[in-house]
Amino acid sequence: MQFKNVILAIFALLSAALWAPQANAIPAFSRQVGMACSACHYQHFPALNSFGRAFKEGGFTMIGAESKVEGDGLSIPATLNASLVGYITDTKTNGPTTGTTATTKTTNNGSLQIPVQSSLFLAGRAGEHTGFMTEINLTPASGGTIPDGSIGMTMLKVPFVYDVGNVKAGLVPFSSPNGAADSFEVLNTGAVAVHAFNQWDMAAISAQQYIGTATAASGLAFIASNENFFANFAKWGANQGSGASGSPTSNYLRAAWTTGLIPGFDSAIGFQVWNGTSVVDAAAAGGLVNPLVTTGVVNTKASAIDAQMMGDVGGMPLLLIASYANAPASGPVADVDQNLFNAGALSRKSLNFGAELGVIPGKATVQLGLRRANSGGYVDPVGLTGGNATDNAIMVGATYNIEQNIRAELTYSKYSGDMYNAANAAAAGPAYTGTNLMTLDLAFGF
């Protein structure tokens, strides 16, 4: 594997992780249950509190004051609940702007996008034991046009959940751009992108998001949960949509313990394992984390452990998260022994910590993220011994809830390590975005 290709692949992965917000906290559910957004979310959307976990574990079927249409084998809300969710953002990175023109601007020049993402969600109860959630992408491409295939359904989950003693168990057919973990997940550790408390530098607070497990997937998940644990075993493939080829031959296993591990705090600890192989078709390859994959059978190998705790400290709500994840190296033969989650010739691994403190409870928070990682790329700068390139980060942020469903956010990240030396910057070329990230955005759900 050529060194330059590895570096380009790593910077492409970082770019995707930094500037791809995931909208998945939706007022459609608020309308269905007749409760405020804060009933399910901790400090602000999209992080879940214990009630939000219970709602999701019930398959989105809980209903409140909203009237129902019921009959023999029928129990649906009288209204189809919908939400418009999106982000308006201004992003600035400090990489070189040399050579940019009016038609080749990057975030190094500054990038104001209205919107950077917008989606229509339809979601809620489909029956007594069945729920659904679907996302329809509405975001225009660069230049204001919508190319063929870019608008339409991008995510679908249909959980079938039943009570088996004191356990809720069921099946979830799913298709998601956020990876196999998005089949069913309730923690806020970044195990799945949609619950991360900071959506603008998830790779700084989440090891799973750093190693690239949020790659498109579809399949079938078998789930079980109660107040003490949740578990998910999914068979999945690295393709999405009606044109996807191959069977769901990869495996995903998730288990977490959610009982009171720390007195006085809502705490949890868990692990994730991805393994097996998957068939990748040409249509899907362009959107994968590993850009060296084009078609064929690839490995899907990664593992992670994570933990969270939530509770009041000095009258202020606090969320703490920690995660460690590893994606083994790819082999030298493209489309044969490539790891879908790691284009590098060395192991890709990361240790991350995140914290969010509600300095004005219900209104404003401050955030901190730390990352110590190895990128998987081999570095041999002049005068130094080569090795697995380090890729470290510190992120600080702040949020302010204008309304429960409208939030202003500021994120600043600083990066350091071998990944940002002169040799790697030159190898990355136009993909190099420097060592600083500044994002100001407005998140909304209507």
Query: Per mean pLDDT, which of 32-36, 45-49, 361-365, 384-388 is the most reliable?
Result: 361-365
| Amino acid in the structure at residue 304 | A
User: What pLDDT sits at residue 328?
Assistant: 95
Average pLDDT over residues 256-272: 90
DSSP states of 191-258: SSGGG-S-SS-HHHH-HHHHHT----EEEEEEEEEETTEEEEEEEEES--STT--S---EEEEEEEE-
Give the H/E segment covering residue 441. strand 436-445
Q: In this model, does residue 369 exceed pLDDT 70?
A: yes
The token pair that represents 125 in the structure block: 């109860």
Domain architecture of the chain: domains with CATH: 3-445 (2.40.160.10)
Rounded Cα distance between 334 and 296, Å, is 9
Rounded Cα distance between 371 and 13, Å, is 16
The token pair that represents 303 in the structure block: 């593992």
Answer with the residue of higher pLDDT: 308 or 111: 308
Q: In this model, does residue 233 exceed pLDDT 70?
A: yes
Residue 435 burial (C-beta neighbours within 10 Å; 0-12, 13-18, 19+)? middle
Question: What's the DSSP call for residue 62?
Answer: -
Answer with the residue of higher pLDDT: 267 or 426: 267
Q: In this model, does residue 149 exceed pLDDT 50?
A: no
User: What pLDDT sits at residue 143?
Assistant: 47
What's the whole-number average pLDDT of the chain? 86
pLDDT tens digits for range 325-356: 999 998 877 667 889 999 888 999 999 999 99
Q: β-strands 250-257, 111-127: how paired?
A: unpaired
Displacement of CA 127 from its chain's centroid (Å): 28
Q: In this model, does residue 161 exceed pLDDT 70?
A: yes
Q: Answer yes or no: are the C-beta atoms of 156 and 175 closer than 8 Å.
A: yes
Rounded Cα distance between 126 and 132, Å, is 6
Rounded Cα distance between 231 and 154, Å, is 25
Q: In this model, does residue 104 exceed pLDDT 50?
A: yes
pTM summary value:
0.90
pLDDT band at 99 (very low <50, low <70, confident <90, very high): low
Q: In this model, does residue 212 exceed pLDDT 60?
A: yes
145, 196, 275, 376, 383 from 347: Cα distances, Å: 39, 24, 15, 5, 23
User: How many Cα atoms occupy the beta-carbon half-sphere of 367 within 13 Å?
Assistant: 27
The token pair that represents 183 in the structure block: 């089949």
Q: In this model, does residue 432 exceed pLDDT 50?
A: yes
Least confident of 118-132, 159-173, 366-380, 424-438: 424-438
Question: What's the DSSP call for residue 11?
Answer: H
Least confident of 182-186, 217-221, 292-296: 292-296
Among 155, 150, 77, 94, which Cα is nearest to 120's? 155
Q: In this model, does residue 242 exceed pLDDT 60?
A: no
Among 266, 317, 325, which Cα is nearest to 301's? 325
Among 6, 54, 21, which Cα is nearest to 439's? 21
Rounded Cα distance between 267 and 189, Å, is 11
Average pLDDT over residues 188-212: 94
